Amino acid sequence: MSIEYERIVHIWKNPPNRGEMKDADVVAEGANPICGDKVKVFLKIKDGKVRDASFTGEGCAISIASASLLLDYLKGKKVGEIEKMDKEKVMELLELDLSKNPSRLKCALLPLMALKSKK
Amino acid sequence: MDVEKIRGDFPILERMVNGKKIAYLDNGATSQKPRQVIDSIVRYYSEYNANVHRGVHKLSEESTVAYEDARRKVAEFINASEDEIIFVKNASEALNLVMYSYGMKNMSHTSRITISIAEHHSNFVPWQVLAQKKKAKLEFLDVDAEGELAGLEDASGSDIVSLVHASNVLGTINDAQKICKVARDGGGISVIDGSQSIPHMPIDVKRMGCDFFAFTGHKMLAPTGIGVLYGKKELLEKMEPFLYGGDMIIEVKKESSKWNNLPYKFEAGTPNIEGAIGLGAAIDYLNRIGMEDIRKHEIELLSYALGKLKDEVTIYGPKDARKRTGLVAFNVPGVHAHDVATILDEDGVEIRSGHHCAQPLHDRLGLESSARASFYLYNTKEEVDRLVDGIKKVKRVFA
């Protein structure tokens, strides 16, 4: 698994889409009290589509990489897409199989869960 | 102490994780169980399963004898008398018992309760809630730069002083005897959370001088779901029951009931019989090895680990292995503890990551989380080497 992990670490070091958005239409926050991961997701929405997305937060490599990749994926997609996303989709984006690693799956799902709770 | 022979008693240590032999270094969370403990439970269910303190038939007599025999073993293990040993499900329940049965009755808006910033949530949240309910003052002792308890004298005059014996994060062993003296001299009672001390060192509650001593069984080779509250008899006698129902009564009438004698007054309902029997077997096992020898073995392992780790990671708690139990919390700079634990797990090295149920301490240290390796009697230097190799791998992956 270390090889896939290296990809995650690579993203984590310089995660795309990191940064605060002042004029966001959606601001969603999530936290995982067990490990102290915290993430805040910002979306700019126009005509029912995600026009821009960013996040801020602190956490493990998996949670940060997940936020980064999730927002990359959502850009240009319909807002309704968020509801349709599930853990399989997040693992696919991360290229990591966390099905036998439920505690780390939680880290991976944190950004998506934050967005879903906002709906 | 023959560690290889000891390892042979623990079937789980043969397990492979991700194709590697397991190096189980999460004993602070729970210990593994020797065959002798597992067998004692199997024997109970195969040969004499029956409810205790009820029937007069053979099986019930046997299970009652075994359950009470476990109580005697616990009492001897900590130098208490049998009627001062209350079986509960874990340390949290033991501390809640003190909080409800002693605290709710005796605390008021003029009372002071002292705990420390290094408490496990089990010895933190109950007192926080008690202080809120009774509008009492809750005070926190701090830890110094070495991770040792600071300003113990400030606890003087507190009505309840409830402190951890050995920290589950820093490893620091507090001077429980001194804590109890400060509490007593100031007119208060002392409560010691011994969950992380009793698996690793000899305990003598009389010498310690504590009013209450709480611990859980599963960190000391026993099954989960069994714990113990020791309480001084004169205090327990004055306290009201914590839970009401079966077995805790002598007589029940329509209008009112009479409570049973100690310790049964505090053991409502059918207890965890298999758990108590398992705990008794665990104590037999620990006694056979010897607590002094276990302590020596852990000091040796920890010294070895601290020496190897000090150049690789940031270590929390005292630098001197003699001041701490056999655990070490650390962080690999710049890497989240969960990532450290996941990469170690790939090589079968099992450690804990997170805040270890000690969030206020992590806040105090300015940490989101930490990784923790915790040793026990069956761990070896070779396993410490695998831990260190794993940490080097983490650094390569995150380089």
Residue B345: band (very low, low, confident or very high) from pLDDT cuts 50, 70, 90: very high
What is the pairing mode between strands B314-316 and B327-331? antiparallel
Residues B148 and B43 placed together within one structural domain of the fold: yes
Tell me the chain B residues in contact with residue A107 when contact means C-beta distances shorter than 8 Å: 338
Over the range B156-192, which residues count as b (16 or more CB within 10 Å of their CB) and which as e? bebbbbbbbbbbbbbbbbbebeebbbbbbebebbbbb
Task: Note the pLDDT tens digit of each residue in B258-302.
Answer: 999 999 999 999 999 999 999 999 999 999 999 999 999 999 999
Residues B282 and B341 placed together within one structural domain of the fold: no
Domain finish residue from B287, B311, B339 = B287
Sign, CA torsion B173/B23/B365/B227 = negative
Q: Are B390 and B349 in contact (CB under 8 A)?
A: yes
Tell me the chain B residues in contact with residue A1 when contact means C-beta distances shorter than 8 Å: 342, 346
Give the closest residue to B374 by CA, choosing from B124, B32, B5, B12.
B32
A115 min Cα distance to partner chain B (Å): 23
Extended beta strands in A1-119, E state: 26-32, 37-46, 49-58
- Amino acid B130: pLDDT: 98
User: Per the CB < 8 Å rule, is B355 touching A36?
Assistant: yes
Residue with tokens 């195969």: B46
In sequence order, which residues have a C-beta less than 8 Å from that of residue B76 and are 6 or more positions away? Answer: none
Domain finish residue from B237, B264, B287 = B287
B369 min Cα distance to partner chain A (Å): 6
State the catalytic residue, choosing from B125, B243, B357, B367.
B357
Q: Does B353 touch chain A (CB under 8 A)?
A: yes
Across B30-34, B125-129, B364-368, least confident range: B364-368
Domain finish residue from B263, B287, B311 = B287
> What's A74's domain CATH number?
3.90.1010.10
Q: Are B98 and B212 in contact (CB under 8 A)?
A: yes
User: Per the CB < 8 Å rule, is A60 touching B362?
Assistant: no
Residues B90 and B189 placed together within one structural domain of the fold: yes
Q: A48: alpha, beta or left, given left = phi > 0 and alpha = psi -120 to 50?
A: left
For an interface test with B, give the residue of A4, A6, A34, A38 to mutate (most B CBs within 10 A).
Answer: A34
Q: Residue A53 is encoded by which pair of tokens?
A: 């997305």
| CA–CA dist B66, B64 (Å, integer) | 5
User: Per the CB < 8 Å rule, is B393 touching A2?
Assistant: yes
Q: The whole model's pTM is what?
A: 0.91
User: Per the CB < 8 Å rule, is A36 touching B369?
Assistant: yes
Task: Note the pLDDT tens digit of each residue in B11-30.
Answer: 999 999 989 999 999 999 99
Residues B11 and B145 placed together within one structural domain of the fold: no
Tell me the chain B residues in contact with residue A35 when contact means C-beta distances shorter than 8 Å: 336-338, 353-355, 368-369
Q: Which residues pair with B189 in a beta bridge?
A: B160
Residues B367 and B294 placed together within one structural domain of the fold: yes
Domain count, chain B: 2
| CA–CA dist B348, B329 (Å, integer) | 19
| CA–CA dist B344, A21 (Å, integer) | 37
Residues B392 and B267 placed together within one structural domain of the fold: no
Q: Does B368 touch chain A (CB under 8 A)?
A: yes
What is the length of chain B? 399
Residues B101 and B112 placed together within one structural domain of the fold: yes
Residues B274 and B377 placed together within one structural domain of the fold: no
pLDDT over 70 for what percent of chain A?
96
Residues B229 and B378 placed together within one structural domain of the fold: no
Residue of A nearest to B18 (CA): A1
ipTM of the complex: 0.76
Residue B55 has pLDDT above 80, yes or no: no
In sequence order, which residues have a C-beta less than 8 Å from that of residue B220 and are 6 or more positions away? Answer: B31, B198, B199, B279, B282, B283, B286
Q: Are B69 and B52 in contact (CB under 8 A)?
A: no
Residues B168 and B297 placed together within one structural domain of the fold: no
Residue B56: band (very low, low, confident or very high) from pLDDT cuts 50, 70, 90: confident
Residue A119: band (very low, low, confident or very high) from pLDDT cuts 50, 70, 90: low
Our answer to whether residue B357 is catalytic in this structure is yes
Overall average pLDDT of the B307-319 stretch: 96
B59 min Cα distance to partner chain A (Å): 43
Residues B226 and B305 placed together within one structural domain of the fold: no
User: Per the CB < 8 Å rule, is A35 touching B369?
Assistant: yes
Residue A1 has pLDDT above 60, yes or no: no
Q: Provide the H-helix boundaries in B48-121.
A: 58-78, 91-97, 104-106
SS3 (DSSP) at A110: helix
Range of the domain at B352: 3-30+290-397
Q: Which residues pair with B162 in a beta bridge?
A: B191
Range of the domain at A102: 2-118
Residues B18 and B93 placed together within one structural domain of the fold: no
Q: Tell me whether the omega of the peptide bond preceding residue A15 falls within 30 degrees of 0, making it cis.
A: no
- Amino acid A100: pLDDT: 83
Domain count, chain A: 1
Tell me the chain A residues in contact with residue B366 when contact means C-beta distances shorter than 8 Å: none
Q: Does B364 touch chain A (CB under 8 A)?
A: no
> In degrees rounded to 5, what are phi and psi of residue B25?
-120, 35
